[in-house]
Each structure stands twice: as structure tokens, then as C-alpha cells.
Amino acid sequence: MEINLPNQITLLRIAVIPILMVFILIPPAWGKIVAIFIFALAALSDAVDGYIARNWRQVTDFGKFADPIADKLLIASALICFLQLGEFGSWGAAIVMTILAREFLVTGLRILAVSQDLVIRASALGKLKTLAQIGLVFVILGKSYFAWGPAGETAKAVFIALSLLLALLSGADYFYRSRRLFRRL
């Protein structure tokens, strides 16, 4: 297994997750600013490693596997922290579990497809889902440090709804597009 620069960036993104979680969970408000910075760098690193891998012809099987896992772990870790902090209200566990279940199911579907020599490409809905989740993390971290008032709560509610809706729609889309795989099995 070759650990080239894009793969090193992916592994670094995974390595910072526990640090991100600490800064999300620590009580001082300044921890949220550090968490915003760490999360922004980690989210940006996803675009950077993909760009380098494609343009420098350094795409590897490890990278194809590890990069989406790193993205899912990054988002999942933040959502779990926010659940612990009560950011999702009384429906928090159901919201987070629905989002995480979609991630597990789609990842399992992709692994199953690879075992059948098929590739399930990322969809536009899946990319929008990821953007909505990144936006949700930024909104929750931002409103916990900056005094956004009711606008912060409204933005959080919009991003929660958008993240949940896009998780469900993109998950359904992946399974629909995998009909050929299920026929093969």
C-alpha cells in the first residue's frame, strides 16, 4: 500500500478527529473557535487531497476507500458531540441515528458493489448532503461562540432539516441506482 501525499492528508484528517471532539466538548467558548478552525482545515483537506490525487495521478485503492470514510468520521464525530451537548433537542438521537445509518448503509452498499466489480459513484445529492452537513457543523459551532440570537437557532433548524432530508433522499438514490447490483445478487 502506497501512502502518497493525498493519503497522508486523509490520514491526518482522521487523526485530528479526537482533537476536534475535545475542542467541541470543552466548556470555554474559545474552544469552539479552535474547533471551527480545525473543522475548516479538515473539511478543506478533503478538497485538497482529492485535487492532488486526481491532478498528480496519485489515485490509489486505499485513497478511494479511506477518503470517504474520513469524511464520514469527521461529520459523525461532530454530530455525536452536538448530541452530547443537547444541540438537537429531544429528537437528537433519532436525527443523528438517521444520518449515521444512511452513512453505514451507503458505505456497505459501496463495499458490496466493489465485491461484484461495480463502482457506485458519488451522486450530486450525496455531495449536497455533505455540504449541508458541513454547513450544519459550522452553524452550530458558530452560534455557540458568536451571539447570533434567534437567527442562529433558525439557521440550525434549517441545516438540520436539510441534512436530514438530503441524507434520506441521497440514500434512497444510491439504493435506486444500485438496482443492477441487487439483480446480480
What residue spans define the domains of the chain? 5-184
Q: Do 175 and 110 meet the contact criterion of CB atoms below 8 Å apart?
A: no
Q: Determine the pLDDT at residue 122.
A: 84
**Which residue shows C-alpha cell 438540520?**
160
Query: Which of 18, 58, 163 is closest to 67 using CA atoms?
Result: 58
Q: Determine the pLDDT at residue 1.
A: 64
How is residue 179 written as a grid cell? 438496482
Q: What is the pTM of this model?
A: 0.92
Query: Is the model more confident about 159 or about 122?
Result: 159
Q: Do 141 and 100 meet the contact criterion of CB atoms below 8 Å apart?
A: no
What's the CA gap between 45 and 144, in Å, rounded? 24
Q: Is the pLDDT of residue 69 over 70?
A: yes
Give the length of the chain: 185
Q: How confident is the model at residue 117 (pLDDT cuts 50, 70, 90)?
A: confident
Q: How confident is the model at residue 98 (pLDDT cuts 50, 70, 90)?
A: very high
pLDDT tens sequence across 45-58 = 999 999 999 999 99
> Which class would CATH give 5-184?
mainly alpha
Average pLDDT, rounded, for the chain: 93
Q: Determine the pLDDT at residue 100.
A: 97
Interacting residues of 1 by C-beta distance below 8 A, sequence separation 6+: 60, 62
Q: Determine the pLDDT at residue 72.
A: 94
DSSP letter at 90 equals G
Q: Determine the pLDDT at residue 150.
A: 95
Q: Is the pLDDT of residue 136 over 70?
A: yes
Share of the chain above pLDDT 90, in %: 77
Query: Which of 15, 35, 12, 40 is closest to 25 using CA atoms?
Result: 35
Distances (CA, A) of 172 to 77, 106, 160: 23, 9, 18
Residue 152 CA from chain centroid, whole number:
21
Q: Determine the pLDDT at residue 120.
A: 84
